[in-house]
Structure 1
Amino acid sequence: MKTQKTVKFLSLLAIASFALTSCSDDDENGMDMPMAEVSTKIYTSNNANGNIDEIDVSDMSNVESKTLITASTAADGVYYDADSDAVFQASRSNLSLEGFSNVNMITSGTTVSVDFSGTADMTSPREVAVNGNFYVVADNSDVDGDTNTPDGRLFIYQKSGSNFTLRNTITTNFKLWGITFAGSDLYAIVDVTDQLAVFNNFLSNTTDATVMATKTISVEGIVRTHGLAYDMDSDVMVLTDIGVASGTPTSSSDGGFHVISNFSNKFNSTSNGGTLAMSSQVRVAGSNTMLGNPVDVAYDSMTETVYIAEAANGKILAFNNISSGGNLTPVLDYNLASASAVYLSKQ
């Protein structure tokens, strides 16, 4: 899922940089200038109880967390808006978007009421992608009732005040799972395949319609892709591979994730219907990773850390030192039954 980099974070870096530059004489006299602290938190949802976890990973040696108790019993895509201090998730039990405000003020274990709500339009909601006031939810259910013809739906909601209004619905000719915006373009996982699709200028589709992807490619080395995260600043795309989805929590280690640097050029250079070569990617997989069913992912480009919602083993995992790939051991192993989504916020 897309990483949120706030204006506050950038401003703090600028202030710190200016202070260090302008006070060089003090530094030479032995005076240490304080550095701006960066808060790094991940927000998670799950299909075990529908609650939201906030995990503070600013210091990997001292990870702290809190849980918001929601009325949902299962949930998927999750998103945090730092400007309004609100967290949102797609409720799979209530079939709607739900949002909760004043997150920083809430103590762990508090039962929260819905502050932002939408209508129950969906059947099987998965990932959430946000562009301004537009919230797009991928729905994985069969649209036409014929399992031999794969399809899915993208529900486009517009947020106004405390309400979500369904603007329109886009039907796709493939099953959906993960989605993320890159500017005005929407990247989407072609479920049950090794493929990745893009819809250019996605929000310009303002009426109910069936829309074909602008481009679809295969990703070599992936069995079945599920989650994706794209960072525009570093131009890095991360894709998860769930391998065989039926693995058990004690034996699931057939999953992995792929890191694609210089993604835009590589994607653009791959023809529609073509394959992005394994030589253009880095793969992390193996028995040490605990990756059996990695359904969602977030990427921190500042620290080059990948966060995974791992469903089969019931965990939130984090990996760094990923440049060479391989059978890495996670630097974070946080238990979360039926983990379904993860979102990263830096402030």
Structure 2
Amino acid sequence: MLSLFVSAALVSCSDDDNDAIVINDGEPTSVKLYTSNNADGNITVYDVTDQSAVTSKTLITTSIAADGVYYDATNDFLLQASRTDLGLEGYNNTSSLVSGATLTVDVDGTNDMQSPREVAVNGNFIVVADNADVDGDPLTPDGRLYVYTKDGNTITLRNTITTSFKLWGITFDNNNLYAVVDATNELAVFSDFLSNTTDMTLAATKRIAVEGIVRTHGLTFDASSDVMILTDIADAANGQDDGGFHYIQNFTSKFNGVANGGTLEVSQQVRVSGASTLLGNPVDVAYDASTQTVYIAEAGNGGGRILAFNNFEAGGNIAPFINNSLAAASAVYLSK
């Protein structure tokens, strides 16, 4: 099967690109933040190469609402999960398009899903978290992970995994898939996830609680710095000022040090929250380890924003240094 995007060894998600910035004659390559939303389904691309002079362009899609987004710079391929068509939609050769350009779907996945959210990519596999209630009983939380393969301009559903908890954010670390346990403060991992090749119900390899979080939603893991970032939407009814994010250094050893069913203590984390942060319903997150910048898709505050934070290592009630309005922002992906 053909390799998807850069190579089979590259592992990415809709949050973050773990590659280091390539230096050419002392200048960094382009750094762009791809974002989707549930207001009009269009894709807004922010050029954050110079964080003091951020520019943006919006590409028009046929979707009315969308969530997980991903960009492969090597092949100039843009992907998002459409909540209108309930499938994956891919676009080739988008980098040179100007703001206001209308995208034509070049790679159209099958419309299998009910409520697609986060997207995670590993080689030629695309995994989408779906937060629809599988059995129709709200008293028995569950969700689905749809596993697709991409071969050229064809996206095919390989299999569907049913989980015993509600889903939202997902991200790969090599072949292990981390997933937030929606409506809780828990984090789960499925070891060697892609080896499960048939439709099945799959239990998480491990689940832990993350102290200090009320309701986690978005997550991203940067393998190069061993940093995990989790967002906390807290009370979903309050979309204005009770959210936050947790920055966890040396994540792998900390996670491994907590027993299945145990709790990662808040003393091992850094929490950013408070009215100045503008975090009310932070639904997704991306991280640039080279500049230590956290990017947030904030769905609630002010109707929706794209926020960026730095100098947050001490935690607390700090203001974002980038604050751009984006109605019903739903997902972010950093490409460089």
2:332 maps to: 342
1:113 corresponds to 2:104? yes
| Aligned match of 1:20 | none
Instruction: Find the aligned partners of 1:99 and 1:136 in 2 and give their Cα distance.
Output: 14
Instruction: Write the distance in 1 (CA, Å) between the matches of 2:31 and 2:196.
Output: 34
Structure 2: 5+ residue runs without aligned partners? 1-13
Q: Residues 288 and 334 of structure 2 are in contact (CA less than 8 Å); yes or no, is this contact kept in structure 1?
A: yes
Give 5+ residue unaligned stretches, structure 1: 17-33
TM-score under structure 2 normalisation? Answer: 0.94
Q: Determine helix, strand or coil for the equivalent of 2:188.
A: strand
1:52 aligns with 2:52: no
Q: Distance in 2 between matches of 1:227 and 1:320?
A: 18
Which of 300, 303, 312 is the aligned partner of 2:291? Answer: 303
Partner of 1:210: 201
Alignment of 1:143-292 (within 5 A): 143-248=134-239, 252-292=240-280
Kindly state the Cα deviation for residue 5 of structure 1 after the two structures are TM-superposed: 4.3
By how many angstroms is 1:123 displaced? Answer: 0.1
Q: Which of 314, 320, 324 is residue 310 of structure 2 equivalent to?
A: 320
Alpha carbons 2:241, 2:275 under 8 Å: kept: yes
Shift of 1:2: 3.9
Match for 1:254: what amino acid? Answer: D
* Structure 2 partner of 1:4: 17
Partner of 1:27: none
Residue by residue, what CA displacement relative to the aligned partner does 1:67-117 show, whole Å, maximum 9, x if unpaired? Answer: 010000000000011111111100001100001111111111011100111
How many aligned residue pairs are there? 321
CA distance in 2, matches of 1:37, 1:316: 22
How far 1:220 moved relative to its partner? 0.1
Do 1:2 and 1:231's aligned partners in 2 also have CA atoms closer than 8 Å?
no
Query: Which aligned pairs between 1:65-84 and structure 2 lie closer than 5 A?
Result: 65-84=56-75
1:126 is the counterpart of 2:117 = yes
Partner of 2:7: none
What SS does the aligned partner of 2:28 have?
Answer: coil
1:175–1:191 contact (8 Å) kept in structure 2: yes
Q: What's the C-alpha RMSD, in Å, of the aligned pairs? A: 1.0
Q: What letter is aligned with 2:306?
A: I
| Structure 2: distance between partners of 1:335 and 1:100 | 25
Give 1 or 2 for the bigger CA radius of gyration.
1
Which structure's residues are more often helix, by fraction? 1
Moved over 2 A (4+): none
- CA distance in structure 2 between the partners assigned to 1:329 and 1:147 by the alignment: 37
